[in-house]
């Protein structure tokens, strides 16, 4: 079945299609704020993320999702101002759910302008990255305490370990160095060097005698 060209469809129909698509996205908070930073539209993803229903959120300032400290510092107003003046604002930081629980969020704000370029509101997209941040912090601590530990995680054969280790390591310190497979004992730097030196004499004794270069 052919789909009508977007120019042939009335604005109301296009709006309903857009709202249906947004409602299908439940892993992200996608909402609209008015020019003053008050919630103008809500979505299932926003309710799942914050715990507020549409009736509880619409008409209230976006600052309800921020901590009391951030509200007192006027950070929400600064975010809106930056988005308005630069065309985009991105942030990773603490946000607060309805019950007071904090979570680490990735937030993007962008201005919405009408045909005359006048500001008509903002679109806000946010997602919960608390678990990713926790894993990143644990992995950073691991790298700092044992720089050679990343291949060990891969060699242990943990499900998805190779992809996870590589992704986090690239994010934190650049691409991983390709290294040959080694025994688990070799990941202890001092022990590895000491072991190599200790066995060096016996290895030299076991070397085959040199081939004679004399020809009869």
d(Cα 168, Cα 176) in Å, to the nearest integer? Answer: 10
Taking residues 189-208, report their average pLDDT: 47
User: Is it the case that residue 149 has pLDDT exceeding 70?
Assistant: no
pLDDT at residue number 141: 75
Three-state secondary structure call for residue 2 = coil
The encoded tokens of residue 93 equal 């930081």
How much of the chain, in percent, has pLDDT values that exceed 90? 47
What average pLDDT does this structure show over 141-159?
56
Say what the pTM is.
0.60
pLDDT at position 201 over 90: no
Which ranges constitute the DSSP H helices of 10-74? 11-24, 44-50, 54-57, 68-72
Residue 21's pLDDT is 76
Report pLDDT digits (tens) over 23-45: 777 888 999 999 999 999 999 99
- Residue 206's Cβ-side half-sphere holds a number of Cα atoms within 13 Å equal to 5
What pairs with residue 92 in β-bridges? 106
Mean pLDDT of the chain: 75
Look at residue 78 and tell me whether its pLDDT is greater than 80. Answer: yes
What is the per-residue pLDDT for 24? 74
| Residue 153 to residue 161: CA distance in whole angstroms | 6
Distances (CA, A) of 150 to 142, 160, 165, 174, 194: 8, 13, 6, 13, 22
Greater confidence, 99 or 21? 99
Predicted confidence band of residue 195 (pLDDT cuts 50, 70, 90): very low
């Amino acid at each position: 079945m052919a789909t009508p060209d977007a120019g042939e469809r009335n604005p109301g129909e296009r709006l309903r299609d857009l709202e249906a698509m947004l409602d299908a996205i439940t892993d992200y908070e996608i909402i609209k704020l008015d020019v003053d930073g008050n919630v103008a539209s809500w979505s299932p993803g926003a309710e799942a993320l914050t715990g507020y229903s549409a009736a509880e959120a619409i008409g209230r300032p976006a600052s309800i999702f921020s901590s009391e400290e951030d509200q007192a510092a006027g950070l929400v107003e600064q975010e809106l101002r930056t988005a308005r003046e630069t065309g985009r604002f991105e942030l990773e930081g603490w946000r607060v759910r309805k019950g007071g629980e904090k979570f680490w969020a990735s937030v993007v704000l962008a201005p919405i302008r009408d045909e005359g370029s006048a500001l008509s509101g903002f679109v806000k997209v946010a997602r919960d990255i608390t678990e990713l941040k926790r894993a990143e912090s644990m992995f950073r601590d691991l790298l700092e305490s044992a720089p050679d530990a990343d291949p060990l995680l891969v060699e242990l054969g943990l499900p998805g370990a190779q992809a996870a280790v590589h992704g986090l390591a690239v994010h934190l310190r650049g691409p991983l160095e390709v290294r040959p497979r080694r025994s688990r004992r070799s990941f202890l730097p001092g022990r590895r060097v000491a072991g190599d030196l200790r066995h060096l004499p016996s290895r030299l004794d076991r070397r085959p005698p040199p081939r004679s270069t004399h020809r009869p």
